[in-house]
Every structure is written in C-alpha cells, then in structure tokens.
Structure 1
C-alpha cells in the first residue's frame, strides 16, 4: 500500500521539464488523484524501450501505481495547463487540461518527450467534469494512438493503459482508467488563443518564443517576422496531417481549436473513426448534430482553425496581411499533399495531368455504393499482380467499375506499370475499425485484456499479411453501423 510518505518511484529517467519553467501563468501545479486497485490493461513495449524505460516496467508494481497516478515519479512536476478555444465554431473561453495531468519531460534517444496522465483526476480546469476517463475511451485512445503512428501519421503516442474498479458515471456507471500519453509537446492552438483573448501579450510572446526555440528553430533563421514564419510552418504541418487523415479515411470527430496540436500531431482521440463504407459526408461524432466535423469538411475546418491561430498571433506580427500571407500556402499545400498520397494509393509514381480526375472518379464510385474504403484500396493494390475480380466484386455497378479500371490500367501502363509492394505500403490491410475496438473493450470489461494486446500487435503492422487474423481485416459486421461514439466517449 502506497501512502503520502512513500518516496517517489525512480524509473531511471532524466527529466527536463522545460514547460514548467514558463511560470504559473501557464499552468497550475496539480497532483494526480489516486485510484484503488489498479491493474494493467495495455502496454506498448516498443515505445517503453524507445523512452528508455526498464524492460521489466510492465511487471513493476510501483510503475503500475505511478502510471495510474497513485505514486509520484522521481523528477516529475505534475501540472495542468491552461488554454482556451473555439468549440464547434463558438468561442468557449477558458478551458485547460480538465482530465489530463502533465508529469514532465524526459530525455529520450528521439529527443525530449513529455508524459501526461489522461484520466488522473480533477484539475483546476475540470469545470463540471470529474477529471476521470473510462475504460472504453482509454482503450480506444491507446489503440488509436499507436495505430496512427504505425500508419506513419503524426500523432501523440500512448505508452500504457491502467484500469481500476472505481466507478465513473457517464451515460451509465463505468470503471475508471488512465492513459499515459507521450508527445514532444502537448501545446495546442488554444494555448495561444488563451493569452491573446486575455490581452496577455507578454505571455503570448513567451509561449511563441518557447515553441520556436524548442520546436521550430528555423523560424528564427529566416528573414522577417519569426511569428509569421511559425504560423506558416504550423499551417504546412497541418496541411500534411489532414491530407494523411483523408487518405486513410480517418475522421477526427472534434476538430476544436483546443484539439489542434501546434506540432501538427493528431491529438485528443475521442469520437474518432476509420470509415467502413465510404461516405464523404460521414459524421463519426454522435454529438455533432450539424455535421461540422464531417469527413469532407475536415480540410476546411483545419484552415478555419489555423485562421483562429493567426488571429491569436496577430499581436506579435507587423500587420494582418502578414498573417494572411502565412496562411495562404495551406490552400495549395493541402491539395498537393492529398493528391500525392491518393496517387500512391493508386500506384501512380508521379503526379500527372488527369490524375486528380482519375482519383475523384474512383472516390465517387466508392461513395455511390458505400464501398468499404480500406478493403477497396487494399484489393486494388493486390490486383496489380493478380486479378481485378476481388475489387470488382465489391461493386454492384460492374460496368462503371470496369470503365474506371480501364482508365486506371492505361495510366499505369503509361508509366511502365505499378509497384505492388509500394501500393501495399500506401494501403493498410488493417485499421482500427469501431467494431474491433468495441470487441476488445467488451473483453476487457470482463477482465480479459488479451484482445487489446492482439489488436495492438496487428495495428502495429497494418500493411502486413498476418496469418490467422483475417477477422481483423474483414468487412465489418452489420451491427458495426449501430455503434455510436460521442464527445463523452
């Protein structure tokens, strides 16, 4: 049993805690609130190794308690940061880390990384919330974070999930869990909006200088205003990120400005979804009744959010036009990035005139019949060295598919053929579908966490054929379409 007198646990980590050096205008010191009887639910061993953790960490009872928030880690400085933001297009005012507690920053072979406990109890910014996370949402974030990383998409990471029998009320009474999140920084657009809205220009400049110095040093190496260069760099990363989302059929679900990473990472996995049947207007968030964050609106919402960031940075710039000029490249960078990625999915080795139309025609075919997004592209990749029949069989209107396929094959022939393996590396066999996560969650609620690990291992190799795991790459069952994921998820 650990008590307040128990000394902090030492995992042999070297802590730096640069964010904590900014001062208490930026955060409130906040210790985690303990949970009873914790247990391991999921653990990412490769990430643990990359962070420099001991190989037996997952067997260590003290580490279990530390990553649940029951035992301090030696060298950490727990805090909750303050930020503001726009939620569903409306100014929400002050927000902040309502259920995430920043432990600190550690040195790793990949550079400094911050650790955060999500679900570790009340903070000064919890508002009407309880500061807790439940098992289902924690498993989803754990799996999604690592799945996105394996797909090559910038994201926060997840080291582990711990569970507890402590009750947490959402729509029903559920059990508590804590996710240990990892990222070079958890700073969001909303951090900048907070200080701009409160006319705290000194703090705004301090934050911007911090981000530039530690994450965008090139912004000081160019001539001109470094804060305008920062906005342009964030815009470029965001354009690339959203293009990657679109290319794998990923819907974020809550693209509020406080859920947008200043580093261009996917952050805050709530009501996300990898699409099954393709629908450009798909809304994955049951709370999003107006469809603001539908799949096809994500690129424009990202630009809207960047515009809000630009407004927040205006006090540090020479004039408004400087901010607008910094945002302008997004309008060309995003479509170029998307076409490159979609072209790779179709086996196109370079971007040529007519490729955008060829891509759009295939997307329209998928949308017309709600054909499964992931399976259609994967079968298309396999058809390069095999028959088109498995892809063709996904469509009711075979004549329409045949007409498109003839155009596609002519395009491939013009470039000398396609590299099947390159296509397979652009088209995952396995993604984290909602029903796969739901099945793992159901098993975990019964005390069996083996399905979480099985699914994690498959998601860490999303492009590989893995014998005995055809169920993870199959068409979703009928009941999958009835799963509803909301902001409370």
Structure 2
C-alpha cells in the first residue's frame, strides 16, 4: 500500500500560477542510501506506510506522490544581512508536495480539517535560481538540520521537521569545510514555505495583483480567522505568529544564525537551519554564523531582527492597505513578544501562570540568575533542574549543580518560582528526570556525531541521540503539540 487513507493531497501553492514558481526536476543522483526516515512525521500526513523502496523512490528519486503536480522552485527575494537581494529563489530545492495534516481533535475529524503542510527539498539539484551554485547539500549539513529540527521540537519551538535524509553519492567541493565531502538530499515537512521574501518579490516588481493574490492565498489557508481583503489583519496574524516563534527561540536558548527575510515565513515556523547553535550558557552577544561579524543575528538581538524583517513584510502591503493600520499591526510585536516570552519561560519551568506581575518577576529573576555567566548555571540545566518548581527542590539541591544554587540571585529566583504552582508535576516521574544531566545540543556533541559518520560511517551516535530526544519529548509532554 503506497499511501494510507490519511494521505490527503492538496497542492494549493500551484494554484497561484507560474509567476510564483518554476517547474523543475530533481537531479539524477548516482546513489540513494536512506539515512533517516521520520515515521512519526510521516504518520501525520499518511505516508508512514511507504516501504523503504517506495520512500527512496519518492524522496530520493522524486517520483511524484499521488495527486501532486511537477515540483516548483519557488520565486522570492530577500534582505540578506539587511542588504536587498533580487537574485534569490529556490536555488537547491523545490516545493515537492502539499497535503493536509491528519486531524488531531474530534472537531477536526468531523470537518476533515488539519493544517496544510508542505514537503520541500534541500539539495535536490540545480534550478533557474541556482546561479553558479551546484544545487547540492552536504551530508553534514543534512545531519545538522535533522539535529536542529529534532531539538527544537523537543523544546516546544514551532519548527519544520526533517522528514527524510538520503545520501546521494557525490563528492562535493566546499570552501568553508574539508572537501571533498559527502552529499545528501533532505526533505522537510513544513507549515508553508511562503516567505516574507515571496511578498518582497511581488512588491519589487510593483505587482499589486500578485500582492493581493498572496494575501488571499495566505489568509485563506494559514490565517482563516482574518477577513478577506484585510491586509492589516493578516499582518497582525503574521506578527503574532513570529512573536511566538521568537519568544520560544529565546526560551530554548536557540540562535538561528541567519535571520534574513527569505528565512522567515508567514506561519511563524522556524525552518532552513544553517549555522545554528544552542547557548551553552547565557551570552547575549553569542552568534551562530562565523560570517556574522557584527553580531546582527546574535542571541539577544533576534527579537530586533525579526521585528525589522516584519517591517519589510509590512512595507510590501502598503500598496493595498493604509499605512496607519499597518503600523498599528506592527506595533503589536513588542507586547506580544513579552507575553509569549513569559508564557514560554513558565512552560519551560513547568509551572502555572499566577498573573502578569508574578510571571514577569519569574522571568526577570530567571534571566538574572542565568546572567551570572559561565561559572554559574548553564542555560538548559536551569530548566531541567527546576522543572515543576518546588516539586524539584530536593532533586535540584542534591544534584550536580547544587553548589551554584546559592546567593542573592538564586534566592530571588527560587522565591519567584515557588510562588507558582507546578503544572502537571507527575511529569517528573519520567525516567529523564532521574538523570543527572539534561538532554542538550551542544556543538561539541554535534561535531562528535558527525565525526563518527565521516570517519567510520557509524550512524549509531546519531540514532542514539534521536532516541533520547524522542524520550525527552515524552517527558516534557507539552500541552499544545510541541509548538505546532
């Protein structure tokens, strides 16, 4: 059985027409070795029943899935490190398929709803937008995207999911890493690949008709609560979604690395992971990209970067909306971000809201404790040690970091934390909380996982890491579906 009855194709982006994307074909790779199939993600769209051979045929050779047209390399522009680039577009990927997510709730099942999801590629070959690039992806880059997406989902951050990784048997030359290096093609499952830059391209060419088409497309499919034709309302929805995303990046200690307008989308879902990092300890100026010489996308500047990008998105809507209404929608980012940041910290600490003042006090004292630097508690262990507040007090004060839990900053944090009631403290019964250390994603571990693959073709460390992350997701048991 190639697909299950839950598979519901709905290729809606293609309805926009040829001016939004170019029909392309995947490269013919010399080999296709399946390295990762995400059956948990596949089950959400009815593709978990594929055999390995069928999986490789669809996601390595790109034979079309039922009901799907020829893939499209999407057209878009973007600001890259705040310099406008009109020569972008899908240069090594394409939109392969769209389908409805398997309904979660009874109400969804009754109406056959479910989010519209994309299968998009990375490393699938050259397109009209490749310019001089080879359209390929290194295997190391694919492994890193798998790890980033899995960790973010584990920490309740809205994220694309690494759906498939297939090694493709080519030797790639790269100037910024040892070459030749192995090649791969990645498929990600995402809630829209429509970027801010998709709108920027239409605005650049002064195509009001395309802007209006995009507004209706995005509104109807991704933000249906917005009224038809309400561009400021759509902007407000995109602002809210991206405020939520940014707050959860911060709570996760995540640094995206390249927050260009072509790397942010209309659904507020993180995707396209390049030089990402997770904080080892609190460091506001921590950057993920070696080429970010001025720290434009440093950890603590991510809210500023996202807001700047939202202003570019808002500018694209000016031909069809009043500037005052767009400004009002943009001004919602700051309050929404603070609200979402409080909620994200409470969720990470496993406690219930006590009201705005008390919740803000907990956020402030947690950040003050983390600001003490590398000699104090690291970012991720704080949330692990003190999850569920008072219920973890004995565990934390007997653990390996008991020596750092003292002093005025800690006392203020503990007082603010203990004001809040634990949220489902039974989660502490999970075996993860009996361990001395949390599940982290530090760069030395990422490099060790890759070194085992590179040197010995040893995939066991990667598989073990993914298994531990799956266990951690079960332990955290986020109430809203891991940020989705």
Report what 1:176 is aligned to.
Answer: 183
Report what 2:482 is aligned to.
Answer: none
Which runs of structure 2 are paired with 1:36-435 in the superposition (5 Å)? 36-57=30-51, 59-60=52-53, 62-69=54-61, 71-76=63-68, 77-110=70-103, 111=114, 112-171=116-175, 172-220=179-227, 226-317=230-321, 319-346=322-349, 347=351, 349-353=353-357, 355-370=359-374, 371-381=377-387, 383-390=392-399, 392-393=401-402, 395=404, 401-415=406-420, 420=425, 429-435=438-444
TM-score in terms of structure 2 length: 0.85
Which stretches in structure 2 are left out of the alignment for 5+ residues? 104-113, 477-484
Cα deviation, residue 55, structure 1: 3.0
CA offsets per residue over residues 101-159 of structure 1, 9 Å max, x none? Answer: 11121244243322112110001111232111110111111222233223322111221
Q: Please tell me whether the aligned partners of residues 353 and 359 of structure 2 are also in contact (alpha carbons under 8 angstroms).
A: no
Aligned partner of residue 369 in structure 1, secondary structure: coil
Q: Please tell me whether the aligned partners of residues 365 and 413 of structure 2 are also in contact (alpha carbons under 8 angstroms).
A: no
Distance 1:413 1:70 in 2: 54
Aligned partner of residue 287 in structure 1, secondary structure: coil
Moved over 6 A (4+): 416-419, 422-425
Describe the shift of the 1:353–1:21 C-alpha distance in structure 2 as closer, same or farther (beyond 3 A). Answer: closer
Cα deviation, residue 296, structure 1: 0.2
Q: Please tell me whether the aligned partners of residues 30 and 170 of structure 2 are also in contact (alpha carbons under 8 angstroms).
A: yes
Describe the shift of the 1:433–1:413 C-alpha distance in structure 2 as closer, same or farther (beyond 3 A). Answer: closer
TM-score in terms of structure 1 length: 0.84
Describe the shift of the 1:67–1:340 C-alpha distance in structure 2 as closer, same or farther (beyond 3 A). Answer: same
Describe the shift of the 1:391–1:304 C-alpha distance in structure 2 as closer, same or farther (beyond 3 A). Answer: farther
Q: Please tell me whether the aligned partners of residues 244 and 336 of structure 2 are also in contact (alpha carbons under 8 angstroms).
A: yes
| Structure 2 residue corresponding to 1:452, chosen from 451, 462, 471 | 462
Q: Please tell me whether the aligned partners of residues 113 and 182 of structure 1 are also in contact (alpha carbons under 8 angstroms).
A: yes
Cα deviation, residue 403, structure 1: 2.0
Describe the shift of the 1:209–1:386 C-alpha distance in structure 2 as closer, same or farther (beyond 3 A). Answer: same
Q: Please tell me whether the aligned partners of residues 348 and 412 of structure 1 are also in contact (alpha carbons under 8 angstroms).
A: no
Cα deviation, residue 345, structure 1: 3.9
Cα deviation, residue 250, structure 1: 0.7
Q: Please tell me whether the aligned partners of residues 83 and 95 of structure 1 are also in contact (alpha carbons under 8 angstroms).
A: yes
Aligned partner of residue 226 in structure 2, secondary structure: helix
| Structure 1 residue corresponding to 2:448, chosen from 395, 420, 439 | 439
Aligned partner of residue 265 in structure 1, secondary structure: coil
Cα deviation, residue 413, structure 1: 4.9
Cα deviation, residue 463, structure 1: 5.2
Distance 2:184 2:463 in 1: 16
Cα deviation, residue 408, structure 1: 3.4
Describe the shift of the 1:86–1:423 C-alpha distance in structure 2 as closer, same or farther (beyond 3 A). Answer: farther
Which stretches in structure 1 are left out of the alignment for 5+ residues? 1-8, 467-489
Cα deviation, residue 375, structure 1: 1.3
RMSD: 2.7
Describe the shift of the 1:422–1:304 C-alpha distance in structure 2 as closer, same or farther (beyond 3 A). Answer: farther
Distance 1:141 1:417 in 2: 33
